[in-house]
Chain A
């Protein structure tokens, strides 16, 4: 009895409050998104907002249950839970029901249940458990490989379910790795390559090649803090490039992308000797990175456009959300930016949205729920929601950092990473900043599985945090 009152006293009420505020706002927006004049009772369970109320009630039961379970349970059973989830993920491939082309649902009577949603938290637990094991270090290749495998297995199974969006969430664990000491350069390299990869597919390679050299010079300037060199390099590049451009125009007329490549080589050649003489180490590294990036962009572009068959290309495009709706590329994003933009500063008022209510925005109560916020509550509303999420994430990091147990800290970071990834992808896609990947907005999107999994994810951490003062 004493223990449980201790738990109550040490619960981080700020996080709990944030959770409730988000859940209530989420529900109100689902109500608005599917609102129609015929079903106005909030308890109408034929409507999604009625159902969501039930899911919320169940979530409350889950919360109480989680808070009652012993502090050490999660760490002790982390691997078991993980294995059970893997088993469910395999089972769903065989026995699952197909919804929207993804075989990721179990259907038991009226209840549908998506194991992928719960795999995230099991993975977070297992990863935390593994990385907190004595002697395991993320910088050791073997440990990194095992940690990678813990993430890769569920992600791969989810890809097999044809639910790539949910699988991409696992990339967010990179933040946990980073916190535990993964090399910065690896992270940066990963980020650069990912950015380049997506950029090449989204933008004409010509523009990427045009932007890279000045970007390299800018980085050189930031690192070396040598304005003179940077300026001279930029001018030399522009002069060489310009001369070649004009020459080319009246002579060979080869593709301009090659002109940029040649200009870059010539510029580097010009600077090799002075750089060697003045021992500018960054120059060498940056040159290699620049040439490497350009080569990488070229390879991706070549691979994508010349080697892959058209249907394979389309498939990648769809995965990246570049071709979400093959009959009208960009329709969804277009409609959602219109809906959000039309909200203006103060919004159209609660239940007054036309874009979301009349189905112009697709999936307006699940993946595109943020549009309802934008349309009905305006800039005030969207900023509030984003700020609440930001506050929650920072609070989670703060909580993670105050743990004495490495397991708890790692798990805390896992929770923050998963939520962060969901938020940026989901909100990002509605405002055209991220590819259209169908993953829910935590606590907002309609759906029992996602609501429950986020609730459990969060409250396990709140439970762990409540016992932070205990010795183990």
Chain B
């Protein structure tokens, strides 16, 4: 009787063993296979304090400060620690309304991690808050710097800085939510140099987020590395002058130093004050600029594809000489235009036109014939191949492709491929259909940057350096290697002097007499581009002085009329400002400064 149930001791023991084996298995599962619990534990018990380095400063070529940093203050919150507080007082101090505070509070998910709740507090607000911070449990402050601009110029060149988006955070582990990153202009293309490196201090914290000490004796801490200062090729005075001249005009000025490719000035108009896009007002201001019909955020200098107009005759002249379809002795007829059958390219010269005069007087008929000769060149099996050869010349000039400058969001411009026309002509090329390209009209588009670059190549007798904005990066021996390389445009240097000769005559006694400045030999070419947006664009490109050129410039004034009327005098003022730092013709300057060409009627 007593022992009837004695075997149950085995069942009981077995049950105990079973349960404890299950426990050990569970512990094995928790503790042995992977370390994600370890990571959770470290997240739990450490606080990462980021030290934000200040961005590198930006200087102009003469060492004048363009962009610097000013301190701002963020308010952080650790939700778990927040106790009841006087919301009204808090809102008053940080200048925010209660509804917004509540909204922001709700948006913060983590209860344990410090999160930014209010950004970019001014120093005054910050000091006020610091004083009262003891009243607001769970709130902390953090200092960082934002951009500030010494002068309200070059906004589109410098670009702006903003918060990183989620995509960047996902792709680049360096960035974390709330970090700043260069979004456009130099700030974008030189982000790595500017940003420096964030420093990090890791502390062990207890459950109340109180710092208990340094994590692993600072083994994983790193110091913040200040961003590199960058000296640009810009000339701040010239830039400011260009922006002043372009005020109340749509268009762009690009000035390049031909001997280096350094960008002296890059004006896009209308523009904006770069200080608008920093700080707490940034979003509001950005929205305003983004919907402005004049598109101040649009960098016309590198993004706008304009017809080159008659300035393109320079290129066709050079290609014609190089391909030997003409010589500098070639004389072609112009009887008020170029006629083939029913086709008529209007022109206003009478009789015979020689090479020099074709540029000086900008003869449409002359270049229509040159272009036809290029396309019908017997060297090539077909017009298509001749076209392709011509197009290859253009590509070498930097037309129809990105120049690979160091400015972000550069555009290619337009020049269609042979294949495009093969398709368009269905195999039977009719070169007459393309003849408007002879004079820079039709299916061709270039950016002011590309035009300035072509002129720089002419100034250099056949090569250019890729235009760039960066002159020197702090603590580096050199800038990118591509900016030191001579890019030959594929035209023999012997062909340049006659073209340059003609260009000088354009200013002295041709279509750009308004650009003439005694004592400075300016070589230029006007352009007047028909376009679907209204009045013709006024175009002028030039370099000066003729010997040992210091500046190559392209000016576009949208819908303003003849190239000689507006673009030429603007370019001449820029050239004079740069070379002499004084203006000899104040009446010209005054006329330009006062002109409002935003709304010109035909």
With A and B bound together, what is the CA distance between A386 and B20 in angstroms?
7
**Residues A379 and B207 in contact in the complex (CB < 8 Å), given A179-B12, A338-B40:** no
Instruction: Decide: B19 and A424 in contact? CB cutoff 8 A.
Output: yes
Query: Within the complex, what minimum Cβ distance (angstroms) separates A185 from chain B?
Result: 14
Instruction: Decide: A354 and B204 in contact? CB cutoff 8 A.
Output: yes
**Residues A431 and B27 in contact in the complex (CB < 8 Å), given A180-B5, A394-B16, A420-B16:** yes
Query: Within the complex, what minimum Cβ distance (angstroms) separates B12 from chain A?
Result: 6
- Interface size on A, as a range, is 35 or more
**Residues A341 and B31 in contact in the complex (CB < 8 Å), given A390-B20, A424-B19, A433-B22:** yes
With A and B bound together, what is the CA distance between A428 and B35 in angstroms?
21
- A178, A342, A432 — which one has the most chain B CB atoms within 10 A of its CB? A342
Instruction: Decide: A345 and B31 in contact? CB cutoff 8 A.
Output: yes
Instruction: Decide: A338 and B37 in contact? CB cutoff 8 A.
Output: yes
Across the interface, which residues of A come within 8 angstroms of B40, CB to CB? 338, 341-342
Instruction: Decide: A359 and B5 in contact? CB cutoff 8 A.
Output: no
Query: Within the complex, what minimum Cβ distance (angstroms) separates A349 from chain B?
Result: 13
Query: Within the complex, what minimum Cβ distance (angstroms) separates B22 from chain A?
Result: 7
The yes or no answer to B208 lying at the interface (CB within 8 A) is yes
Across the interface, which residues of A come within 8 angstroms of B5, CB to CB? 179-181
Instruction: Decide: A359 and B16 in contact? CB cutoff 8 A.
Output: no
Instruction: Decide: B44 and A379 in contact? CB cutoff 8 A.
Output: no
Query: Within the complex, what minimum Cβ distance (angstroms) separates A238 from chain B?
Result: 29
Closest residue of chain B to A359, judged by CB? B207
The yes or no answer to A26 lying at the interface (CB within 8 A) is no
Closest residue of chain B to A379, judged by CB? B31
The yes or no answer to A406 lying at the interface (CB within 8 A) is yes
Instruction: Decide: B12 and A379 in contact? CB cutoff 8 A.
Output: no
Instruction: Decide: B27 and A374 in contact? CB cutoff 8 A.
Output: yes
Across the interface, which residues of A come within 8 angstroms of B204, CB to CB? 354, 358
Interface residues of B in 203-218 (CB under 8 A from A): 204-208, 212
Query: Within the complex, what minimum Cβ distance (angstroms) separates A295 from chain B?
Result: 28
With A and B bound together, what is the CA distance between A58 and B120 in angstroms?
61
Binary interface encoding of chain A residues 426-437 relative to chain B, with 1 for a CB under 8 A from any of its CBs, else 0? 011001110000
Query: Within the complex, what minimum Cβ distance (angstroms) separates A22 from chain B?
Result: 15
With A and B bound together, what is the CA distance between A141 and B453 in angstroms?
107
Interface residues of A in 316-357 (CB under 8 A from B): 328, 335, 337-345, 354-355, 357
With A and B bound together, what is the CA distance between A413 and B19 in angstroms?
17
Instruction: Decide: A427 and B212 in contact? CB cutoff 8 A.
Output: no
Instruction: Decide: A386 and B9 in contact? CB cutoff 8 A.
Output: no
**Residues A179 and B41 in contact in the complex (CB < 8 Å), given A358-B206, A382-B27, A424-B23:** no
Across the interface, which residues of A come within 8 angstroms of B207, CB to CB? 358-360
The yes or no answer to A102 lying at the interface (CB within 8 A) is no
With A and B bound together, what is the CA distance between A175 and B12 in angstroms?
8
A394 contact from B13, B30, B208, Cβ within 8 A = B13
Interface residues of B in 1-28 (CB under 8 A from A): 2, 4-6, 8-9, 11-13, 16-17, 19-20, 22-24, 26-28
Instruction: Decide: A379 and B16 in contact? CB cutoff 8 A.
Output: no
Instruction: Decide: B206 and A359 in contact? CB cutoff 8 A.
Output: yes
Instruction: Decide: B38 and A383 in contact? CB cutoff 8 A.
Output: no
Instruction: Decide: A401 and B6 in contact? CB cutoff 8 A.
Output: yes
The yes or no answer to B481 lying at the interface (CB within 8 A) is no
Instruction: Decide: B208 and A359 in contact? CB cutoff 8 A.
Output: yes
Instruction: State the majority secondary structure of interface residues on B.
Output: helix
Across the interface, which residues of B come within 8 angstroms of A374, CB to CB? 27, 30-31
Closest residue of chain B to A180, judged by CB? B5
Instruction: Decide: A431 and B23 in contact? CB cutoff 8 A.
Output: yes
With A and B bound together, what is the CA distance between A278 and B44 in angstroms?
63
Across the interface, which residues of B come within 8 angstroms of A420, CB to CB? 16
Instruction: Decide: B13 and A397 in contact? CB cutoff 8 A.
Output: yes
Instruction: Decide: B23 and A433 in contact? CB cutoff 8 A.
Output: yes
The yes or no answer to B45 lying at the interface (CB within 8 A) is yes
Instruction: Decide: A386 and B22 in contact? CB cutoff 8 A.
Output: no
Instruction: Decide: A355 and B16 in contact? CB cutoff 8 A.
Output: no
The yes or no answer to A389 lying at the interface (CB within 8 A) is yes
Closest residue of chain B to A137, judged by CB? B1
Across the interface, which residues of A come within 8 angstroms of B45, CB to CB? 354-355, 358, 360
Instruction: Decide: A344 and B38 in contact? CB cutoff 8 A.
Output: yes
Closest residue of chain B to A138, judged by CB? B5
**Residues A379 and B32 in contact in the complex (CB < 8 Å), given A358-B212, A360-B45:** yes
Across the interface, which residues of A come within 8 angstroms of B13, CB to CB? 394, 397
Instruction: Decide: B12 and A427 in contact? CB cutoff 8 A.
Output: no
Across the interface, which residues of A come within 8 angstroms of B27, CB to CB? 340, 374, 379, 382-383, 386, 431
Instruction: Decide: B41 and A345 in contact? CB cutoff 8 A.
Output: no
Query: Within the complex, what minimum Cβ distance (angstroms) separates A340 from chain B?
Result: 5
Across the interface, which residues of A come within 8 angstroms of B28, CB to CB? 379
Across the interface, which residues of B come within 8 angstroms of A175, CB to CB? 12
With A and B bound together, what is the CA distance between A428 and B30 in angstroms?
13
**Residues A389 and B20 in contact in the complex (CB < 8 Å), given A360-B44, A374-B31, A431-B30:** yes
Across the interface, which residues of B come within 8 angstroms of A390, CB to CB? 16-17, 20
With A and B bound together, what is the CA distance between A397 and B9 in angstroms?
7
With A and B bound together, what is the CA distance between A420 and B20 in angstroms?
10
Across the interface, which residues of A come within 8 angstroms of B23, CB to CB? 386, 424, 427-428, 431, 433
- B24, B30, B207 — which one has the most chain A CB atoms within 10 A of its CB? B30
- B19, B35, B204 — which one has the most chain A CB atoms within 10 A of its CB? B19
Instruction: Decide: A342 and B37 in contact? CB cutoff 8 A.
Output: yes
With A and B bound together, what is the CA distance between A201 and B34 in angstroms?
31
Closest residue of chain A to B20, judged by CB? A390
B30 contact from A328, A340, A358, A359, Cβ within 8 A = A340
Instruction: Decide: A344 and B12 in contact? CB cutoff 8 A.
Output: no
Closest residue of chain A to B17, judged by CB? A390
The yes or no answer to A378 lying at the interface (CB within 8 A) is yes
B41 contact from A339, A378, A393, Cβ within 8 A = A339
Closest residue of chain B to A357, judged by CB? B206
Query: Within the complex, what minimum Cβ distance (angstroms) separates B318 from chain A?
Result: 73
Query: Within the complex, what minimum Cβ distance (angstroms) separates B398 from chain A?
Result: 60
Query: Within the complex, what minimum Cβ distance (angstroms) separates B138 from chain A?
Result: 15
Query: Within the complex, what minimum Cβ distance (angstroms) separates A207 from chain B?
Result: 20
Binary interface encoding of chain A residues 418-453 relative to chain B, with 1 for a CB under 8 A from any of its CBs, else 0? 001001100110011100000000000000000000
Across the interface, which residues of A come within 8 angstroms of B42, CB to CB? 342, 354
Query: Within the complex, what minimum Cβ distance (angstroms) separates A472 from chain B?
Result: 16
Across the interface, which residues of A come within 8 angstroms of B206, CB to CB? 357-360
28 A-B pairs (CB sep. < 8 Å):
A180-B5, A181-B5, A337-B30, A337-B37, A339-B41, A340-B31, A341-B30, A342-B37, A344-B35, A345-B32, A354-B41, A354-B204, A355-B41, A355-B45, A357-B206, A358-B205, A359-B207, A360-B41, A360-B45, A378-B31, A383-B27, A386-B27, A390-B17, A397-B12, A397-B13, A424-B19, A424-B23, A427-B23
Known: A328-B111, A400-B9, A431-B23. 13 other contacts (CB 8 A): A338-B44, A344-B31, A344-B38, A358-B207, A360-B206, A374-B27, A386-B20, A386-B23, A389-B20, A401-B6, A423-B20, A424-B19, A424-B23
The 4 A-B residue pairs with the shortest CB-CB distance, nearest first, are: A341-B37, A342-B41, A358-B206, A354-B45
